[in-house]
Amino acid sequence: MKCQEMDKLLVAYLDNEVTPSERTLIQAHLAGCERCQEELAALSALQSRVSQFLQFRAAQAAPSPQAWSRLQARLAGEARPSPSWLPTWLQRLAPGVGRINQIFEGGITVKKGFALAAIAALVIAFSAVAFIPSVRAQVIGWVRARWEVPRGSMEIIIGPQPGYTVLVPSYLPDVIGSASHMVGVTSMGDDGTIRNFFGDPDGQWLQISQGPAPADKALPAGQEVTIGGQKGVLITGLSGTLELVPPLPEDVQGTPPADRLESFAYQDAQRLVWDVSGTRVEILSNLPVEEMLKVAESFAPAETGEGALPVQPSLPSDGKTGGGGEGPIESRP
């Protein structure tokens, strides 16, 4: 056996994962080859060093004493029927969520629609002008006290209230809404445009944009479709780059991971545009057209169901408006 062939077998030899015949050949070669002996010794020392490090590091880590009670609570939450006023896609994304109609200590009312949307989407970043750290801290504490929100992935920024009716879909395909692949982004531009990105950039995804319907701006050119009785436009065969990096206020703490995905290229996507209740809605997605139309048909104003389901909390004391949110991604308008 030559040294080059030996080289590929040494790790398996050290791991006792070679066949008896390979073992015999390796040992015969080692007996007469000083270079391979040194290589073997070096690999062995490295294995030992890595193994000791992993064992040592793991031994320092232990789950929190509350791990079992947290799990029990989540299991109990799964067993309970979800509140009927929650849209099903929010129920999937925020399991165990209960009624939200909470008055904050600081006089802020965070109503359920907004808080749910924030949690469901995992990110809400209002490109904030009114940015109040104490309010943000309250919102974070409040949200955390009620949901299993991954720590270290929450962001709440207070921003302006959109001046149009915000819509939410009551239907999302399972491939998009599946919790294990779900990634959500909500961001709000200075013009009040809200964008939500859902799904997996490597799989199927969906971006919803909405903003005030411009009275003087017609729908773009494309194939005419009907969505909920309204005229809409479908544009197919699109390709481009979708930006996932949000605008962040200067005083937000924390360092984004260096390897985060800032954008991704897409091909063969479709765009669906229509106006409803004074809101212009656009869906950009690589889902089949039938699925996109089904999502579009399911859009309804966020304020539905029992009690109000508003999209924004308000700050009655000083007239400013507030928002809440958290989490992982965003798309720049």
Interface with another protein in residues 123-162 (CB under 8 A): 123, 125, 140, 148, 150-156
Q: How far apart are the first and last CA of the chain?
A: 62
CB nearer another protein, residue 140 or residue 225: 140
Instruction: Specify the residue, 148 or 297, whose C-beta has the smaller distance to another protein.
Output: 148
Q: Tell me whether residue 61 or residue 215 sits nearer to another protein (CB atom).
A: 61
Which of 72, 227, 253, 88 is closest to 155 using CA atoms?
A: 253
CB of 25 to another protein, least distance (A): 13
Q: Could you say whether residue 245 binds another protein (CB under 8 A)?
A: yes
- Residue pair 309/303 in contact (Cβ under 8 Å)? The answer is yes
Which among 24, 253, 219, 50 has a CA at the least distance from the CA of 136? 253
**Shorter beta-carbon distance to another protein: residue 27 or 236:** 27
CB of 290 vs another protein, minimal distance in Å? 28
Name the one range near another protein by CB under 8 A: 84-92, 275-283, 309-317, 321-329: 321-329
Q: Which of 158, 159, 154 lies closest to 143 in space, CA to CA?
A: 154
User: Across the beta sheet with 194-199, what order do the strands follow?
Assistant: 125-126, 184-188, 194-199, 205-212, 279-285, 263-276, 230-243, 223-227
Instruction: Kindly tell me which of 59 and 218 has the beta carbon lying closer to another protein.
Output: 59
The DSSP code sequence of 277-302 is TTEEEEEEESS-HHHHHHHHHTEEES
Q: Is 14 in the site for another protein (CB under 8 A)?
A: yes
Question: Tokens 């939410």 identify what position?
Answer: 168
Asked whether position 244 contacts another protein by CB under 8 A, the answer is: yes
Q: Which residues sit opposite 268 in a β-bridge?
A: none
Q: Does residue 330 interact with another protein by CB under 8 A?
A: yes
Q: Residue 253 CB, nearest distance to another protein (Å)? A: 6
- Using rule CB under 8 A, residue 28 touches another protein: no
| Helix residue ranges, H only, 147-250 | 174-177
Between 199 and 232, name the residue whose CB sits nearer to another protein. Answer: 199
Q: Residues 56 to 85: which contact another protein by CB under 8 A? A: 56-64, 67-68, 70-71, 74-75, 78
Instruction: By CB under 8 A, name the one of 1, 25, 175, 248 that touches another protein.
Output: 248
Instruction: Judge whether 95 and 78 are in contact, CB under 8 Å.
Output: yes
119 lies in the binding site for another protein (CB under 8 A): no
